[in-house]
Amino acid sequence: MIDTVVFDVGETLTRDDRYWASWADWLGVPRHTLSALVGAVVAQGRDNADALRLLRPGIDLAAEYVAREAAGRGECLEEGDLYDDVRPALSGLRRAGVRVVIAGNQTERVGQLLRGLDLPADVIATSGEWGVAKPQPEFFHRVLDIAEAPAVRTLYVGDHPANDVIPAAAAGLRTAHLRRGPWGNLWASGDVAKAADWRIDSLMDLLDIAAR
């Protein structure tokens, strides 16, 4: 039985199209160039931010975030950035009595933006607010603190095996690998994805899982 479902953010709830396009524009490179580099580092199992480091060796990402905010070109998140199944799936889970938590590797600013969307979630938290990021075990300890359910009755949903499925399972949580975005599709049939308790193509699949 699942009491709490915890969601990753990027390419689970939100599309990353705008995120990477904004970085390409900020760095003054064609969008398709950065997109191709993101795909390359993903295929190599590397941090997606390495795509930016390939374009600008030695780049200080924290400083660039500050500079973008100062220039009025900081992070943005709107209703159109959500996948179509997000609101119906989260709402359906809550109607079924399931606690809904959102917790991913995002900045404090994204946490504010997510809360501004008034999503049907009980708690929203980000790694930037916690000061610890996936796949570190402490991140999932924090997840369990706000899940208000035992690990075996808490389900973590994400697209990235190395950041979501493997560390969540190591912390004792149940896991669902979502076939969405570059990571989710690349690893959908691999041994890592098969380590998940469930493999899903839509967040709506969670309604049946939670009802079991």
Buried b (16+ CB within 10 A) or exposed e, 1-35: ebbbbbbbbbbbbbebeebbebbbeeeeeeeeebb
Identify the H or E element spanning 61. helix 61-70
Give the pLDDT of residue 183.
Answer: 83
Average pLDDT along the chain: 94
pLDDT tens profile 13-37: 999 999 999 999 999 999 999 999 9
SS3 91: helix
Structure tokens at 194: 């098969």
73-83 burial by CB neighbour count: b if 16+ within 10 A, else e? ebbebeeebbb
Q: What is the pLDDT of residue 188?
A: 82
Q: Give the rounded percent of residues in the chain with a pLDDT score beyond 70.
A: 99
* Cα 1 from Cα 154, distance rounded (Å): 9
Residue 206 CB coordination number (10 Å) = 26
Report, in angstroms and rounded to the nearest whole number, the Rg of the chain calculated over CA atoms.
17
Structure-block tokens of residue 47: 């941090």
Structure confidence by residue, pLDDT tens digits, 198-212: 999 999 999 999 988
Q: pLDDT of 79-95, one tens digit each?
A: 999 999 999 999 999 99
**pLDDT tens profile 96-118:** 999 999 999 999 999 999 999 99
